[in-house]
Amino acid sequence: MPHDSFRDLVGERVSAYRGDVAGATEDSLVFEDGSMVRTDILIAGTGWDAGYSFLTAAQVHDLGLPHDVVDDSIEESRVWQQAVAELADSTIVKDYPILAHPPEETKVWTVKRRTPARLYQGIAPLNDDSIVFLGHTRMSNGFLRAEAQAIWATAFFDGRVKMGSAEEAREKVAYMNAFSRRRYPYDRDGVGVNFSKDFIWYTDGLLVKAGLTSHRRLW
């Protein structure tokens, strides 16, 4: 509520509908009571539960969201393991040797029952450019993450941000997942991309890709 005009803006332009969503058509949401509301964009605010009950298990898998490891085919598991181990992890250890030797008291990752999010920049699926998922990166500054990801997502939908080839995009995802695993070995579930202490690096990278420049005060 920082602006005087906020109440008038909401009161004049926003209509509220209460009810549980039962489904969707090509251009509308359908509520359980049968009523329909036309919509161009759907933003799903899932609160503290990062699940997507309106997506099938197959859709969750295909979109690169965290899913049970058994849902991956043998070939798919091999491709991702190879990408993380050979293309990403070796590069990270070479560039940051300290990450090869975490503190002894640190409980290093064990075998996981769920895959990490396989999203480009922690946001976009590799095989569907019509949808993005914000909030799958963990940071100590959620407000900065939300703003930077929203700007990047807007640029992505406008065609100003490109993934590159399928191989390049997959390598980028593998690198971010491997870096998160090396940098934060204490992460218990590992289904997200953890940049808790690296949020400036991550958000600046998003903004640069969107065509913006970071201006910081010199201390």
Q: How many domains does the chain have?
A: 1
Distance CA 201, CA 187 (A): 19
For residue 46, is it within any domain?
Answer: no
Q: Given this model, what pLDDT does residue 69 score?
A: 87
pLDDT digits (tens, 9 = 90+) for 15-52: 888 888 888 888 999 999 999 999 888 887 766 666 78
Say whether pLDDT at 59 is over 90.
yes
Q: Which residues contact 31 (CB under 8 A, 6 or more apart)?
A: 17, 19, 20, 21, 22, 37
- pLDDT, averaged across the chain: 84
For residue 47, is it within any domain?
Answer: no
For residue 4, is it within any domain?
Answer: no
User: Could you tell me the residue range of the domain that residue 111 belongs to?
Assistant: 64-209
Q: What does the pLDDT average to over 170-188?
A: 85
